[in-house]
Amino acid sequence: MSGDRQTIEVSRLTKRYGTVAAVRDLSFTVAPGVVTGFLGPNGAGKTTTMRMLTGLVSPTSGTATIGGRPYRKLSRPSRTVGAVFDASAFHPGHTARDHMRVYAALGGYSDSRITELLDLLGLAEAADRRTRGFSTGMRQRLNLATALLGDPRVLLLDEPSNGLDPEGMLWLRGFLRRLADEGRTVLISSHILSEVQQLVDDVVVLRRGELVAAGPLARLAGPPAVLVGSPDAARLAAALRASRRDGDALQVDSVGDGRLRVRGLDAPGIADLAAAHQVRVHELVTESTGLERLFLDLTSAKAEIP
């Protein structure tokens, strides 16, 4: 089974709490082999959707399937899906190994698998310490170790970057990349785009329980634009256009006030070119991408909701 490629399919999913719809008519798919970011401001319905995906919360209507089957219909769910919802989900009096032993028993996995995972996640030294004293990073790794007990083909992580230091983030990025490269399906949620931008290939963006965008990050983000301010803007524009080679997507637009918006060349490239042509540059700003602007709009629009 370990070569299986499992697709997540969410179709017309709705969850109402009384009159409030936490998730509304939501449809998207998550492909195997890539890391998909599930993005949206706090309260957008990300966690509710992920909990419906794993049978913890019952949808009002619609379906959510993994490899074509609802979670509760999977014969040994922990073999197919590994999910992490809470930053800390351990009995404080249990050691890391105690915790793993409970869930290894539940899923029917051997004690050697526990040792293997504790080693893999760098918890071998802390294995026999009570989780009470664990740091955020250690908790996150123990969560992951538990989720990976059944060597699942699908990994769902709710806000995994919460509270992680830059080193932890770097580690997580490498770890998830490796899992995706093995053909696994990886879905991670976040309310902070910049935290996962380096980490994800595809994105699904949610706002107030509804889908606003889905697709490859590169396509949604659009080409990055650089704003250049120069007293010799016309000369710089000519130099930039002259530097264009066949097949380049270089685009230069004058936006007035001695400013140019350049797409297809990054800020260091523009600075080098300007230096080579002895053109003075007073301003050089990389503008936020399309997705960043979209995300910013979403988060600020949230404030207007009564």
Catalog residues that contact other proteins under the rule CB under 8 A.
48, 51, 54-58, 71-72, 74, 77-78, 81, 83, 85-86, 88-95, 98, 101-103, 105-108, 146
Q: Taking the complex as a whole, how short is the minimal distance between the CB of residue 152 and other proteins, in angstroms?
A: 10
Q: Taking the complex as a whole, how short is the minimal distance between the CB of residue 271 and other proteins, in angstroms?
A: 50
Instruction: Give 120's strand partners.
Output: none
Q: Taking the complex as a whole, how short is the minimal distance between the CB of residue 161 and other proteins, in angstroms?
A: 19
Comparison of 82 and 221: residue with beta carbon closer to other proteins? 82
Q: Taking the complex as a whole, how short is the minimal distance between the CB of residue 89 and other proteins, in angstroms?
A: 4
Distance CA 168, CA 247 (A): 39
Comparison of 56 and 227: residue with beta carbon closer to other proteins? 56
- Which pairs with CB-CB distance under 8 Å and at least 24 residues apart come from 209-213? 209/15, 209/21, 209/22, 209/23, 209/24, 209/26, 209/44, 209/45, 209/48, 210/24, 210/25, 210/26, 211/26, 211/27, 211/28, 212/294, 212/298, 213/291, 213/294
Comparison of 101 and 259: residue with beta carbon closer to other proteins? 101
Distance CA 233, CA 274 (A): 10
Comparison of 91 and 282: residue with beta carbon closer to other proteins? 91
Comparison of 101 and 244: residue with beta carbon closer to other proteins? 101
159 three-state secondary structure: coil
Give residue 218's identity as a one-letter amino acid code: A
Q: Taking the complex as a whole, how short is the minimal distance between the CB of residue 102 and other proteins, in angstroms?
A: 5
Comparison of 72 and 241: residue with beta carbon closer to other proteins? 72
Radius of gyration over every alpha carbon of the chain, rounded to an integer in angstroms? 23
CB atoms inside a 10 Å sphere around CB 111: 12
Comparison of 86 and 253: residue with beta carbon closer to other proteins? 86
Q: Taking the complex as a whole, how short is the minimal distance between the CB of residue 87 and other proteins, in angstroms?
A: 9
Terminal CA-CA length for the chain: 49
Q: Taking the complex as a whole, how short is the minimal distance between the CB of residue 202 and other proteins, in angstroms?
A: 24
CB 84 within 8 A of CB 90: no
Comparison of 72 and 219: residue with beta carbon closer to other proteins? 72
Q: Which residues of 147-157 are buried (b: 16+ CB within 10 A; e: fewer)?
A: bbbbbbbbbbb
The residue written with tokens 């979403």 in the block is 298
Q: Taking the complex as a whole, how short is the minimal distance between the CB of residue 150 and other proteins, in angstroms?
A: 9
Of 73, 64, 67, nearest to 45 by C-alpha is 64
